[in-house]
Amino acid sequence: MTPEGRDTSGQAPSNISISRARDYFTVPAPIKRIFDQFPLVTYPPNDLPQRSSSSRSGNRLFVFTDAAGARHEKPSFNPQCLKWQAYLKFVGIDFEIVSSNNHASPSGALPFLLPALPISNNAPIPSSKLQKWAIEQVHCEEEQQLDLRFEVYASLLDHRLRNAWLYTLYLNRENFSYVARRLYVNPSTSNPLVRAALATQLQQAARDELLKSCQFIDVSALEAEADDAFEALSTLLGSNEHFFGRSTPGLFDASVFAYTHLILDEGMGWKWNRLAELLQKHTNLVQHRERLLKFF
C-alpha cells in the first residue's frame, strides 16, 4: 500500500477490505466506555525551579554545586558554571547561588540566571546572553574582546584545555570514580541502576566529544596540547595582574580561572592530576588564580 491509498498494482482497495480494516481497529464498546471516563489531559510545562516572585529579592544563578556550596557561595565545580559565576562577581553584580542540574534548565544546560527584575515575562537568561545582560546592568565595557588576540586564545580554552579536562574528569578511571561520580552522578539519584546508566552516559558523551577531532583518544597528545595552552596563556599574561592588561578582571580572566582554579582545587578530590603538574610550572598563572579566588 502506497501513501496515496493504492496497492502496488495500481488498483484501489475494495470497500469490503476498508470495512474489515476499520472493524479490526475499532475499540470494543465496553473498553471504550471505560477509557471515556479517563480522558487524556495535556499538562502544562514544568515551572522554572524558583520560589514565588514575592519571595525572590535578588538575582539567582543556577549552577552545578552542592547545598553547602550554594549557601556559602563557593565556586562551582563545573568550569562553564564557574566561568559565569566568576564573571558576574568580577563586574560587581550581586546574585544568589542555587544548586541545580541540566534537567532543570529551560535550555537543557547550566548555568542560567533568573533576574531580580524579570524581563520578557520572567524569562530566564541562558549563559549565551549573560554577558550582554551584565553589561546592560552595570554599563561596563569588555575591552578584552576588542583585542584581536581574544578569539585565538579563547580557542585554547574551548578546545585544548577543555579536551584535557574531559579526559581527566570523565575518562580517567580513578577520577571518574572518586570525583565525577560524587559530583554529578550520586546527587542525581539513589537508584543504583539509574546511577550506572547515568555514569555510562557521561563517559560516552565525553568520549564522543573527544573523538570529534581525532580517530582515537591519545592521552599523551591531550597532555601535550594542554601543556602548550598553559605556556601560551602564561606568555600572554606575562607580569600583568589580569589578561590583556586590564586593571580589573574580565571575561577572559573568568574563563581561565574556571579551569585553573578547579585543576588546583584540592577540594575536588583528584586522584590523578597531570594537569596540575603542567599548570604549576607557570607561577604567574597560579598567582592569577589565587588573586581571583579572593573574590569568593
* CATH number, domain containing residue 180: 1.20.1050
Whether residues 167 and 270 fall in one domain: yes
Q: CB under 8 Å to 262, separation ≥6 — which residues?
A: 75, 77, 79, 82, 268
With respect to residue 97, please indicate whether it lies within any of the assigned structural domains: yes
Whether residues 285 and 202 fall in one domain: yes
Choose one of 111, 138, 165: the last residue of a domain.
Answer: 138
Predicted pLDDT of residue 50: 47
Which pLDDT band, with edges at 50, 70 and 90, does 95 fall under?
very high
Whether residues 156 and 113 fall in one domain: no
Lowest mean pLDDT among 34-48, 109-123, 261-275: 34-48
With respect to residue 44, please indicate whether it lies within any of the assigned structural domains: no
Tell which wins on pLDDT, 275 or 145: 275
Which pLDDT band, with edges at 50, 70 and 90, does 175 fall under?
very high
Would you say residue 22 has pLDDT above 80? no
Strands (DSSP E) contained in the chain are: 60-63, 96-99, 112-114, 125-126
Whether residues 153 and 280 fall in one domain: yes
Predicted pLDDT of residue 61: 97
List the Cα angle 171/292/67 in 5-degree steps: 60
Which pLDDT band, with edges at 50, 70 and 90, does 105 fall under?
confident
Q: Considering the chain, what is the average pLDDT of its residues?
A: 84
Side-chain-side CA neighbours of 9 within 13 Å: the count stands at: 3
CB distance 86 to 49 below 8 Å = no
Phi and psi torsions of 93, nearest 5°? -95, 125
Predicted pLDDT of residue 5: 42
Whether residues 260 and 179 fall in one domain: yes
With respect to residue 248, please indicate whether it lies within any of the assigned structural domains: yes
Whether residues 189 and 256 fall in one domain: yes
Sheet with 112-114, side-by-side order of all strands: 96-99, 60-63, 112-114, 125-126
Domains in the chain: how many in total?
2
Whether residues 164 and 281 fall in one domain: yes
Whether residues 222 and 127 fall in one domain: no
Choose one of 92, 114, 138: the last residue of a domain.
Answer: 138
With respect to residue 121, please indicate whether it lies within any of the assigned structural domains: yes
Tell which wins on pLDDT, 118 or 77: 77
Q: What is the mean pLDDT of residues 141-154?
A: 80
Would you say residue 135 has pLDDT above 70? yes
Whether residues 164 and 219 fall in one domain: yes
Would you say residue 93 has pLDDT above 70? yes
Tell which wins on pLDDT, 44 or 281: 281
Whether residues 165 and 127 fall in one domain: no
Choose one of 138, 165, 181: the last residue of a domain.
Answer: 138
Which pLDDT band, with edges at 50, 70 and 90, does 26 fall under?
low
Would you say residue 29 has pLDDT above 80? no
Alpha-carbon gap, residue 48 to 122, rounded angstroms? 10
Instruction: Give the domain range for residue 219.
Output: 147-294
Q: Which residues of 104-142 are buried (b: 16+ CB within 10 A; e: fewer)?
A: bbeeeebbbbbbeeeeeeeebbbbeebbebbeebeebeb
* C-alpha dist (Å) from residue 199 to 167, 184, 186, 263, 268: 14, 9, 9, 21, 18
Q: CA 84, 86, 92, 97 torsion: positive or negative?
A: positive
